[in-house]
Amino acid sequence: MKKIVLGLIMLLTFILLPGFNLQANTHGIVYKDSDYQRLHAVIEHVENVLKYGKAYNTETDLIPDAINTLTGEPAKWTFPNRAEVPYVNMANQQNFLRTLVALSNVTGSDKYKNEAVSILTEFIDNYQNVNGLFHWGGHRAINLDNLEVQSFEGPNGPHELKNMMPYYELMMEVNEEATIRFMKQLWTAHFYWATTDMNRHGSYSTAFDINVFGQEIPNHVIEFDEDGMPIIPADSPGLLPFVNSATDLAYAAFTLSNHTGDPIPSDWANYLMSQYNRASHPVTGMTVYQYKSTAVTRSPLECADPAYTNSGCGDRVARQFRDFGSIARESNVAWKNTQAVYVDNILMLLEAADKYGQSHFTDWARQYLEGYLEYAYIRVDGRNKIIPMFIDGTVTYGYVTPEVGYFGPSNMRLDYVDMPTTYLLPILRTILLTEEDEDKEKLWSYFRDIVYTFGIGDIGSLGGATPNLNIDNAIDDPFALMAMVELYDATKNPQYLEAARTIGNNIVREKFHRGFFVQSEIMLYSRLDMPDTLALLTLDAVIRGIPLSDMPYYLADTGYIHGYLLSDDGVVETRSYTQNMVYTKTIFDWE
């Protein structure tokens, strides 16, 4: 009897003592039915995209940017002359390419990666301009009807990449020579070596320069006044050096150096990104959208009309927000283009820090984010918001514009700016790449508040201790999912994994309809660049114990086409974006 009782005691102790539950161990994660259902949904989506995407024109392996989920047909751009063009813009399919590779990684089948290779092979072989630029980006794509290059901005649309951060690793595998040629020409076409100007638009007529990075790196553009404040030159001849174009140039150069071992492209990328860093506000730490203003090249008569917003009339914020004095410059605005500055830009900096040895970029990212959150982040009515302000902390909330200008009409009142879930990843990744705990605490505190306010619950104290998450949340957001996956991967706290599983299940339930992932049930088009499938596969990977470093990494999903098209009234010509004109269509708009 005593032996039985003692055995019982030992058994009871073994069961109840914490630490003995093997399911908490990464390698002991049970693959559940719901895990399989999520994977199955991604596979079904991918199979449908490939099936219907390829069915439209059997002469090509290329697939359209988006698919009509009612008919299986490609999304089409309607030009002002009523020509409807199905389009393939490879710059806008990078997350689908990453999804294909990720799917091969988690399933162990080469089938999906081979599809990605096949698509990229045809694209690179046929759609690289003689000067090295690809026919892709903001103003060019491939017409899926005739497989010809299609311009969306007049007959000869320029090359434009804004935070598209192509999947260079795969492109290198497919065609190393062509990819390297592109990465070099990206700089030749967009960067003006003699004047250190940069243009978001690159010409397809610019000759390929074999000695592209051969010039000596010049002095910094940004110098400082006697008070230590950065001086923003107003000498750019209409070539606005937007950070969202600079991130693509820098990303290409870092990838190139990493691949070839030649440090010079990396040095140039450092030089370029340094201008934004030097232009940052020395007190607040907030950074800039551009490091130059434009020179006045238009006549006083033309510029006398505030509705004439051509950048040849000088800095467009100085014109419309002149009431604020000298701080009112395009570079200093912290309420517009914030996704470009504080999300996409940061993700590129962190990628370069993590993979390409640019460890100082982690410090820059932390400086930018800490400054922005300390000065501008606010919770309003239980929502994450940004107080509109200039980067020196001058609040512009409530300001009413006296006259029309580049930033909007007259009598426009500046209100709080929404902070979307896209901010989660740059903040979290900055924390994870920061070495010292004491340097992480400030960002973690903001991150904790932001996550809580999004409704995910309390992530706990720094390092993932004692979280109290809303495991049964209703959130169906891919960025929240990736944040929970990356938190789990870093801490191995199973609460994050369970929250991620819930979010993943919600994504499938709310966004998987008619065999495709869509933004919501009523949306007509399934957009290939949606990050949801990639996010679901990163969750699948950590459940299987596959290191995230072996998985394609999310960097951006901001691909678009911008150009002239017929407005919804069927009469008026307008100039707009796919995101505003095509991907807003619902199933009720389809006749």
Partner 1 sequence: MKKLIYIFILLLSVTLLVGCQEKTDDNNETIIVDNTYRLLMEAEDLSGMTEKTQAIITQAGSLGLPTSYQGVTITYRSRNEEIISNSGVVTLPTTCWIESRDQQGDEVFENLNDNWPVVIDVTLSLNGQTRTAKLLFVVAPAIGFTCNKYLG
- Which residues in this chain contact partner 1 in the complex, by CB under 8 A? 1-2, 5-6, 8-9, 12-13, 16-18, 21, 23-24, 304, 306, 319, 322-326, 377-380, 382, 387, 393, 395, 397-400, 402-403, 445, 448-449, 452, 458, 460-461, 466-468, 471, 494-495, 498
DSSP letter for 217, please: P
Q: Nearer Cβ to partner 1, position 17 or 210?
A: 17
Q: Nearer Cβ to partner 1, position 284 or 331?
A: 284
Do 375 and 290 contact (CB within 8 A), yes or no? no
Nearest approach, Cβ of residue 50 and partner 1 (Å): 35
Q: Nearer Cβ to partner 1, position 415 or 510?
A: 415
Nearest approach, Cβ of residue 1 and partner 1 (Å): 7
Q: Nearer Cβ to partner 1, position 295 or 378?
A: 378
Q: Nearer Cβ to partner 1, position 16 or 571?
A: 16
Cβ count within 10 A of residue 117: 19
Nearest approach, Cβ of residue 460 and partner 1 (Å): 8
> Which residues have CB under 8 Å from 21's CB, separation 6+?
none
Letter for the amino acid at 118?
S
> CA 52, CA 48: separation in Å to the nearest integer?
6
Beta bridge partners of 236: 294
Q: What is the token pair recorded at 445?
A: 């505190």
Nearest approach, Cβ of residue 306 and partner 1 (Å): 5
- The burial of 305, by beta-carbon neighbours within 10 Å (0-12 exposed, 13-18 middle, 19 or more buried), is given as exposed
> CA 114, CA 129: separation in Å to the nearest integer?
25
Q: Nearer Cβ to partner 1, position 240 or 313?
A: 313
Nearest approach, Cβ of residue 404 and partner 1 (Å): 10
- Picking from 38, 33, 73, 75, the residue whose alpha carbon sits closest to that of residue 55 is 73
Nearest approach, Cβ of residue 447 and partner 1 (Å): 11
Residue in the block written with tokens 């003006």 = 192
Nearest approach, Cβ of residue 374 and partner 1 (Å): 8
Letter for the amino acid at 392?
D
> CA 113, CA 115: separation in Å to the nearest integer?
5
Helix, strand, coil share (%) of the chain residues, nearest 5: 45, 15, 40
Q: Nearer Cβ to partner 1, position 18 or 570?
A: 18
- Picking from 493, 444, 491, the residue whose alpha carbon sits closest to that of residue 469 is 493
Q: Nearer Cβ to partner 1, position 113 or 501?
A: 501
Alpha-helical segments (H) within 322-385:
338-339, 345-355, 360-376
Nearest approach, Cβ of residue 336 and partner 1 (Å): 18
